[in-house]
A and B are shown apart, each in its own frame.
Chain A
Amino acid sequence: AQTVTQSQPEMSVQEAETVTLSCTYDTSESDYYLFWYKQPPSRQMILVIRQEAYKQQNATENRFSVNFQKAAKSFSLKISDSQLGDAAMYFCAYRSAAGVGGSEKLVFGKGTKLTVNP
């Protein structure tokens, strides 16, 4: 079974600076999708960014970018120019690309709580 590990339970960053959240995963599959979700205090889960494993180019969404290292099974999230509104729990998630049966499910890490200091 696939597993996702976030080794940093908590991180903090100064406003306007850059922070990187770590995520590693374990899988024997070659085709899959990776996601970062944000959960602010409202507890609404918000999709931040996603990466297809077959793409070598790292995904970018405005101030959010990933460093996807397939061989190392690493998928870190970089937040540039951090804003107070970025403060939240961040979850890394994995999903198989097989598209059948149980592979449809998202497997989550335990999360990293990000604090942004003014």
Chain B
Amino acid sequence: DGGITQSPKYLFRKEGQNVTLSCEQNLNHDAMYWYRQDPGQGLRLIYYSQIVNDFQKGDIAEGYSVSREKKESFPLTVTSAQKNPTAFYLCASKRGGPYGYGYTFGSGTRLTVV
């Protein structure tokens, strides 16, 4: 079955460490997105990519980095510069083009700084 796989489901990080969250999709979707979810804040866009080797900052990109070397993969690195990284992170993808397709979401990664 096609879908989006995020791993790991739970991740613990020590302060000062970088960590990378994985996002893989086999839907042949062009566009991929990373959102951060905090209680009472809804979902906020971190980075997005509409094509391989290209990505753009979202609303809260500071302290994060991404790469898009393959169509299927869009990993997110939470760097030590991110002051408050504890949150739930959701990856999503969408077919390209100016159509009203909804996003397909992964099941998320819960990151906790210890």
Enumerate chain A interface residues (CB-CB to B < 8 A).
9, 33, 35, 37, 42-45, 47, 50, 52, 91, 95, 97-102, 104-111
Given the known inter-chain contacts A35-B102, A95-B100, A104-B50, please indicate yes or no for A42 contacting B56, CB distance below 8 A: no
Structural contact, B43 and A108, CB atoms closer than 8 A: yes
Structural contact, B48 and A104, CB atoms closer than 8 A: yes
- What are 27 inter-chain pairs, A to B, with CB distance below 8 A? A9-B40, A33-B100, A42-B107, A43-B88, A44-B105, A47-B103, A50-B102, A91-B43, A97-B98, A98-B98, A99-B97, A99-B98, A100-B98, A101-B56, A102-B56, A104-B50, A104-B94, A105-B45, A105-B58, A106-B33, A106-B43, A106-B45, A106-B103, A108-B43, A109-B42, A110-B40, A110-B41
Enumerate chain B interface residues (CB-CB to A < 8 A).
31, 33, 35, 40-45, 48, 50, 56, 58, 88, 90, 92, 94, 97-100, 102-103, 105, 107-108
Pick from B48, B90, B98: contact of A105, CB under 8 Å? B48
